[in-house]
Chains A and B, each alone.
Chain A
Amino acid sequence: MIKVTINGKEINLEKAMTVLEAARSAGIKIPTLCYHEQLEKYGGCRLCLVEVERMPRLQTACTLMVTDGMVVRTETEAIANVRRSVLEFLLINHPLDCPYCDKAGECELQDLVEKYGPATSRFKESKRKVTESLEDPVLVRNMERCIVCTRCVRMCEGVQGAAAIAVIDRGGHSHIEPFSGGKFDCEYCGNCVSVCPVGAIMSRLHRHSYRPWQLVSETETICPYCGVGCTLVVQVRDDVIKRVVPRIGTAVNNGLLCSRGRFGYEFVGHKDRLTAPLIKKDGVFEEATWEEAIRLIARRLGEIKDTFGGSSIAGIASPRCTNEDNYVFQKFMRVTLGSNNIDSTARTGYAGAQAFIENIFGQGATANLIPGLSNSDAVVVAGGDPTAMNPILGLQIRACARKGGNILTIGHIKGLRHYTPVELRPSLFSEDILLEGILSALKDKKGLPGSNQILEGKIKDINLSSAEVTRVCGISEKDFALFIDKLSGASNAAVVIGKEVVQSSGGSYRLLLLAAITYLINGRVYLLSERANEQGLLDMGCAPDLLPGYRPLGYAEFRKKYEIAWKSPLPEQPGLTIFEMIEAAKSGLLKAMYIMGENPVFNMPNSKEVEAALKKVDFLIVQDIFLTESARLADVVLPALSWSEKNGTYTNMERRIQRLRKAVTREGMEDWRIVLEIARNMGSKMNYEDSENVFFEISRVSPLHRDLGYEEIEKGTAIYPYKGEPLRSLTEEIRTEKGGSIESAGKLYLRLERPLFHSGTLSRKSQALVNIYAGAVARISPGTAGRLSLKDGDIIRISSGIGSLDLPLAVEKAVEDSVLMLTNNFEGRGAFSLMEYSIDPVTKAPVIDGNVVTVEKVGR
């Protein structure tokens, strides 16, 4: 026990801490500027000076550790004088442009000067002049206001791990600059903006558009972008989102955000938002009333169901929509239309990978806490860059490295390059050999634990010498040995698996290898998830073979329970996956399709074929917030409320159920309510007042969500397995399919770039994200560029078996040789328009890694 006396108050402390922390714990305020609870201590601003008995000079409370018997005073005249002087010095170079500064009202410097003075300055000389930098599309840098507290630098380097900014020059000329001196060209997380105490680094999105005290409301909700599920606070004025900020203390992201979460909100108020239902008449959309549209849909779906049966109708659910939306949607499909043809783009990887891994390790095996990553002693990363796909999860991996953990990456994982003691980059199409090699080496080193016989049966068959592996994969023996050494020494390891694993030929076999590696090191699996509610949608039963609560449809006893709960018979046969729907549509078997919050024409490979297939469907309903590529093909388009306009819940990749809250008001209906209206028009008795009502039913019928309510979710404690029980583990036989061997020499492969700044439909309507990353660019390595005699900046024509695109070329070191990287985020220029796929027979995911393209220069 440490006893300190601060301002005469005796404080007993259990553990060592700084004087500042001790004071705060006792409710005593000490002013600070350079201190920030999320950052490493610095002791630079001298504002927190305090008197400590028996110490000769004033001490900085933010760095001084308490000792037993210490006596501290935090507010004396001498201290006030010093604070006033410190502030006077800080103001020497400060422009005092508070009336014009967006920070006014929440500026720590202004507040301190208001409290401690000085009211006038003795400084008569001229101030430092630096023009405000507007060179960046997202951030404004005003270095006259900078007080060089280095909070931004410590955030960028020590927490975000981007190290994009630094203190430049010295003395009175010190200020903060990104490397270029102008544009930041960084990860654009905006976390530096969060910690800047003054108006020196600010967001450009809301520049001069409001004052902090004019905000009408603040709503805590969940990010609409990825499966990490960060909490964010939406600040609103006049029903317009003015700013999105994080909050310290939230479970997943604790005061941090990534570029999409922080700057990607402008799609909500975009002028292209759909406002009224559209009905296509003679090939042309006409605005219609809700009544007309819903009546038409009810009539047509009814006719088609009666004539061709429920199985002629299919529905695509949405990983952007809430649990409530998806629950009502699948219930409508199953009960009202009598069809199990329900699926989503989770089928492109996440769903299959999860089913595969959980078949081996049991349900819930992939539900692991994201912050736990930073406490691992080794993290294996394969199949994509977590710092781009799931940025906040990526930060936990970087934090793990900082704490001394070993980050072991397989493939080209750019965002972790500075964090790994060894990265293994196998040559094209040799990843599975590398995984086999890692598995063999681990087995030799650690032996088999003996707890999972089925899995061990598979592991026993895999034997590959390290010499063979390193030769085939083109990696050095030294690196391989180091990798194995670090990995086998780990006792608390995590394995992070990205979608690329699943989307490669032999995806299921690679998953098996990764599962086996996880098994040998006794690790935890994390599956990266690109969409906000990808998990929730599966939990809600939006899959052809799952009922709500992740219950397999194939078991009669589960079906029975739902038949009783829903008072309706359910179709027994599993429905079609999203890819099978496209096939069925092509062959004319599908007569109607209802797409909610998804854009398959854009978000599925071989876009043109998807488009052709959807055109063949007799009656197509698309419900969305924009007139997307898919919506344009529809017979009826229904405008839905979007994120931040409705209440509900999302379930993140940890399987934490979180509350989505309405922040702005807009006329219209939530997705679930539209579905409900249609159902009721078809004679269904379904009825819900609000989203909470829907969730109440979920908590009654889904054994996974038993007795769970909004109240509990709001406490943040609704983490898998919630309150109900998970399914018992059903390790069935493990089925895998190896990829064929591929001769890649001399060819160029089109691969999907998954950028940090985009995620398709929402991000491309968010101006700030578009300003950061404006258009499609083809990327190749310097080696490939040399071989093809192409130069950075050339305009090239990329041709595949199914189409071609003309795009600017960028030559970048971070790209793998013989690969051309292209995103699927920009209208009319998506990588998927050039990609064909085959379906992995086990995971049912599309295999897209073998798309060969040719390129030619067509301009500059």
Chain B
Amino acid sequence: MFSEAAKKELQEIRLRYPNARAALLPALYVAQREFGWLSPDAYETVSDLLGVPKAIARGVGTFYAMYKHKPAGRNIVQLCTNVSCMILGAERLVDFLKNKYGLEPGGTTQDERFSLVIMECIGACGTAPAMLVNDDFYENLTENYIEEILQRYK
């Protein structure tokens, strides 16, 4: 469900745009934050609050990779495996996540603490390998460093 604060946030977002449809992307982002993922309920809520038909809202949402369409863990790990990161060992890191946490690309840990998304170049080639955990950015990754980072996220 949407908190009152989120509803208010949505109304504010709406006012920043000339029409309701233009406000869909940030609105869906809020919904994702509130619901954890873009569930049918999340879409219906956004559709009701913005007055955009729900099928259209879902059409827009499914176009973008950064919206989640299945339940995800509490924290999202977005690890880059594109060229620079790959050369500097990103694939080893993928294996590490799998072995140590049981975290597969596109999957979620049993305790629903982490989900892993594989990214295509997040613009940190000079300090590769790199990843995002939620909105926080980390670079020059090693196995030990990842372990240390992930401890911060419950």
Interface residues of A (CB under 8 A from B): 153, 157, 163-170, 177-180, 418
B86 at the interface (CB under 8 A from A): no
Interface of B is mostly: helix
Interface readout for B51-64 with A: 1 if CB under 8 Å, 0 if not? 10111101110110
Q: Quick check: B51 and A418 within 8 Å, CB to CB?
A: yes
A852, B12: Cα distance in complex, Å = 44
Interface residues of B (CB under 8 A from A): 40, 43, 51, 53-56, 58-60, 62-63
Q: Quick check: A163 and B53 within 8 Å, CB to CB?
A: yes
Q: Quick check: B56 and A157 within 8 Å, CB to CB?
A: yes
Report the minimum CB–CB distance from B81 to chain A (whole Å): 20
Contact of B55 among A166, A169, A170 (CB under 8 A): A166
Contact of A169 among B43, B51, B53, B63 (CB under 8 A): B63
For the A-B complex, the count of residue pairs with Cβ-Cβ distances under 8 Å equals 34
Report the minimum CB–CB distance from A99 to chain B (whole Å): 32
11 interchain pairs (CB within 8 A)? A164-B53, A166-B56, A166-B60, A167-B59, A169-B63, A170-B62, A177-B55, A179-B54, A179-B55, A179-B58, A418-B51
Q: Quick check: B56 and A170 within 8 Å, CB to CB?
A: no
Q: Quick check: B53 and A418 within 8 Å, CB to CB?
A: yes
* Interfacial chain A residues near B43, Cβ < 8 Å: 179
Q: Quick check: A163 and B56 within 8 Å, CB to CB?
A: yes
A251, B55: Cα distance in complex, Å = 31
A153, B60: Cα distance in complex, Å = 13
Contacts A166-B60, A418-B51 known; 13 new A-B pairs at CB < 8 A: A157-B56, A163-B55, A163-B56, A164-B55, A166-B56, A166-B59, A169-B62, A169-B63, A177-B58, A179-B40, A179-B54, A180-B40, A418-B53
Q: Quick check: A165 and B55 within 8 Å, CB to CB?
A: yes
- Find the A residue at minimum CB distance from B61: A168
A165, B53: Cα distance in complex, Å = 9
The interface centre, meaning the residue of B40, B43, B58, B59 with most chain A CB atoms within 10 A of its CB, is B59
The interface centre, meaning the residue of A166, A167, A177, A180 with most chain B CB atoms within 10 A of its CB, is A166
* Interfacial chain B residues near A418, Cβ < 8 Å: 51, 53
- Find the B residue at minimum CB distance from A167: B59
Knowing A166-B58, A168-B58, A179-B58, the reply to whether A157 touches B53 (Cβ < 8 A) is yes
* Interfacial chain A residues near B63, Cβ < 8 Å: 167, 169-170
A168, B58: Cα distance in complex, Å = 7
Q: Which 7 A-B pairs have the closest CB atoms?
A: A166-B59, A163-B53, A179-B55, A166-B55, A168-B62, A170-B63, A179-B54
* Interfacial chain B residues near A177, Cβ < 8 Å: 55, 58
A722, B92: Cα distance in complex, Å = 84
Report the minimum CB–CB distance from B67 to chain A (whole Å): 11
Report the minimum CB–CB distance from A74 to chain B (whole Å): 33
* Interfacial chain A residues near B58, Cβ < 8 Å: 166, 168, 177, 179
* Interfacial chain B residues near A153, Cβ < 8 Å: 59
A153, B51: Cα distance in complex, Å = 18
* Interfacial chain A residues near B60, Cβ < 8 Å: 166
- Find the B residue at minimum CB distance from A813: B48
Knowing A168-B62, A169-B62, A169-B63, the reply to whether A178 touches B55 (Cβ < 8 A) is yes
- Find the B residue at minimum CB distance from A156: B55
Report the minimum CB–CB distance from A811 to chain B (whole Å): 15
A165, B55: Cα distance in complex, Å = 6
Report the minimum CB–CB distance from B39 to chain A (whole Å): 12
A178, B62: Cα distance in complex, Å = 13
* Interfacial chain B residues near A168, Cβ < 8 Å: 58-59, 62
* Interfacial chain B residues near A163, Cβ < 8 Å: 53, 55-56
Report the minimum CB–CB distance from A172 to chain B (whole Å): 13
